[in-house]
Structure formats: C-alpha cells, structure tokens
Amino acid sequence: MSSNLDAAVDRLLSRAKFLGAEAADAACLDRKSLSVSVRLGQLESVESEESRSAGLRVLIGKKQAGASTSDFSLAALDALAERVVAMAKAAAEDPWCGLPDAEDLAKDPVDLELWDTTEADIADLEARALESEAAALDLAGITNSGGSGAEWGASQVVYGASNGFRGGYRGTSWGLGLSAIAERGDHKERDWDSDSSRFLKDLKASATIGRNAGERTLARLGASKLESCVAPVIFENRVASRLISFFLSAISGASVARGVSFLRDKLGQQVFASSIRITDNPLEKGGWSSHPFDGEGLPVAARDLVTDGVLQTWLLNTASAKQLGLKSTGHASMNPGGAPGIGSSNVTVMPGQHDLAGLQAQAGNGLVVIETLSPSFNQNTGDYSVGVSGLWFENGKIVRPVNEITVAGNMLDMYAKLIPGNDYDGRASLQCPSLLIPAMTIAGA
C-alpha cells in the first residue's frame, strides 16, 4: 500500500484522539485513470486523471460526524480532524452508531489478485479503440459511429480505525466499448457493446466487440410497435441484472430496518422459484467487487443469499445489525468521511439449462427485452413497470424488432416464476444470465 495513504490515516486518527474523539475511523484513497476516445478513424481525446481523498469519521458517545478532503498536507489533515470533532460534538445522537469490537475484526487479509502490472499505453488504447470501431463500420448497413473508447484505471485504499484495525488493497481495470449507428430510410438505430476486465490480457478482442455492436444495431432496424398482450418475456443478460438489483436493495438491512422493503417479512421464506440460487462472494480472485475485509474492517466470506428459492440472509453492517438485533454479515461498504453504507460484492445468479435461444424455444412466442428505459419501481410493494425495446419471437425464432412498449408486473410474482439461462461471461460484479418470466403484461399500440 501507499505509504502516503498509511501516513494520512495515522495522522487523522491520532489528531482525532488528541482533540477528544472517543472513537474514529479513516479511509484514504488514491485513483488514476487514462482514457482514449476515437470517432470515424480519428483520435478525439486523451484524458488522464489523478485524484486522492482522505475521509475521517469521529464518534463521541452516540454522536458521530464525518468529512473528507483531497489535500494531504499535514495542515489540511489537522484542519479536517478539528472540523470533524467539532461537528461530532454538535451532532444529534444516533443510537446505532459505533465501531465493531476489536475481537471481531478481520485477521490476515488474503491477496485477491486484483492488480495488473501492465503499464497503460496511449498508443495501445487508441489502436484497440480504432480496431473496434473499424470492425463495426465494416458491416454492411452500419452508416456511422457514436465513438469508440478504451480506458485503464487503478485505485488503492487504506482503512484504519481506533479499534486497532488497519488494512488496504488495490485494483486495476481495463475497458473497451463503442456504439454503432445504422440507418434505413428515415429510421435510425443505435446499439453498443463493451467489455471490461481486471487484466488487459483478459479483455475481449477489439474486433469482436466492434462486430457485436454492429450486429446488435442492425438487428434493431425496422422496429415497430407491438399489440398489447400477456406473453412470456425474456430479459437479455445485459438488462436482466437490473431485476436482481431490486432484490439486493430490498435485502439491505437499512431498508428492512426502516420497513421500506417489499421483502421485509420474507427472511427464511420462498421468494424465488425453487431452481434459483444466488451467491455473494467477496473473496473471488480477480472479482470486480472483491475485497479482503468489509468497510468496517470485519471479515468477509462467500455465502448464499438465496438457496432453492429461499431467502437466506439480510445484508448487514454494524449499525443495521444493531437495529435488527442481529450480527453484521460483513456487508458494510466503505464511505470515506461518512458512516458505512451497505453493499453486496460479487453476486451470481447461478445458471440454468439453456442459453438465450434455448429460453426462446422453451417460451415459444414472446419478447426478448434488449433495452430498458425509465423504470418505475415501488420498493414497498414490488410493483414494477418499464419502457423497453426488444425482439419479438415466434416458435422460438426472432421475427422482428419492436419498440415503444412497456412491460409490467409485481416483482414477487416475477421472482416466483423466474427461469434463468446460462449465458453470462463473468465480467461484472452482478453476474446474471438472461431471465425468462413465463407471463407478463405488455402494453403496446
């Protein structure tokens, strides 16, 4: 870890204690990024960014306050500590605030292999973006480009607290993506493809990404409205994860404690179809959301969120666990200069038997959703509706693109009938295959 980050954490904690803090924690981050964008074969921009932040939270009795700064000078860190201690003394009491007990803290964090030593190179990033765009433009019918971009990023964090915890980790990221445009008469369509990876060597071939973007765009040409009906709906893997994100929000301890979750009384009950298993693994090697400890320094572990369709756990940090009379599940998210949040890590909806084509064959006639717009979701009831574009299929085969339609249902009903595909590629923190819901209301023309 960076000695500068460690030194800043030390300074903030020592100054907070000197000024009267009963407890405190601090998180210091360093981020770097390099991105290149091209359009129509020409370099458009090169952007490089470096940033640092130091955050401090102070606790005095049942009062807490926090703030952050980008200035790592001793004078700025000391001023931050003075300001935060003064804020804590004036804050309202929070009966649930506090640090974890020292005996509960993570020990001996493991290396999760998140760091690529490959140096970022502007010429290489530009070449990848150009190759990707060229592959899309080579397809007959692709008439323009919305631009192509490649990027690299690196970050590291050090977290420490007055309960004796100190730890840190670092990670890198690489990405490539573009959008393609096709026209037929007055009709214009746009679609995209992208890829990202912790390691440059694992990034998909540039030409493959370009062709995928072009082919997806061409498939949308000639889209028309659809008659209103009730039919099977398949959420393609690129959008299906959004259905699961509502579930993750609903099992957050903060939502459950406030009584604003449609799953608030479902712990230990059947929520999904019996074939559904959803896992959360913060210790996955190279995972996008992997971390050796949570945002409060507590140990983390792989666990099932759903087994055979049954909800197994809430996601809890220390504060929400106290509210619910439970123990933290190690799901605190780091919030430099503020109270810890709650978050999942590497979540996977375990695969079913069929790829997307197999789900279409199973459903017979229905809709594949490829894009969602302006979703409406009631967190208390689970009612859901969203504008979509997609592909209508009959006898398992795509017959035409459709747009300007809305699908609607209740998330509890949708989860209870969910059928997962097996078409995901391991390149996001929420891994979700395409999902088939056997019947949904479709509002069209």
Specify whether the backbone of 286 is left (phi greater than 0), alpha (psi in -120 to 50) or beta: left
293 neighbors 106 (Cβ within 8 angstroms) = yes
Interatomic CA distance for residues 40 and 37, integer angstroms: 11
Confidence of residue 108 (pLDDT cuts 50, 70, 90): confident
Confidence of residue 2 (pLDDT cuts 50, 70, 90): low
167-179, pLDDT tens digit by residue?
Answer: 999 999 999 999 9
Residue 1 pLDDT exceeds 60 = no
8-21, pLDDT tens digit by residue?
Answer: 999 999 999 999 99
Q: What is the CA radius of gyration of the chain?
A: 24
Interatomic CA distance for residues 152 and 197, integer angstroms: 10
H or E element at residue 212: helix 206-219
H or E element at residue 122: helix 122-137
Chain centroid offset of residue 2 CA: 26
Specify the CATH number of the domain 3-217. Answer: 3.30.2290.10
pLDDT at residue number 445: 64
- What Å distances lie between residue 209 and 125, 178, 193, CA to CA? 14, 8, 6
Residue among 224, 205, 223, 222 at smallest CA distance from 213: 205
Residue among 239, 247, 250, 248 at smallest CA distance from 216: 239
Residue among 376, 344, 396, 360 at smallest CA distance from 443: 376
pLDDT at residue number 422: 96
Residue among 318, 248, 309, 328 at smallest CA distance from 280: 248
**At residue 344, what is the residue type?**
S
Length of the chain measured in residues: 445
**Longest CA pairwise span in the chain (Å):** 73
Task: Identify the three-state secondary structure at position 4.
Answer: helix
pTM of the predicted model as reported, rounded to 2 decimal places: 0.95
- What Å distances lie between residue 61 and 85, 93, 261, CA to CA? 12, 8, 30
Interatomic CA distance for residues 336 and 77, integer angstroms: 14
What is the domain partition of the chain in residue ranges? 3-217, 223-445
293-309, pLDDT tens digit by residue?
Answer: 999 999 999 999 999 99
Enumerate residues 6+ apart whose C-beta is below 8 A from 405.
Answer: 225, 226, 367, 387, 388, 389, 390, 442, 443, 444
pLDDT at residue number 20: 96
Residue among 380, 377, 381, 362 at smallest CA distance from 436: 362
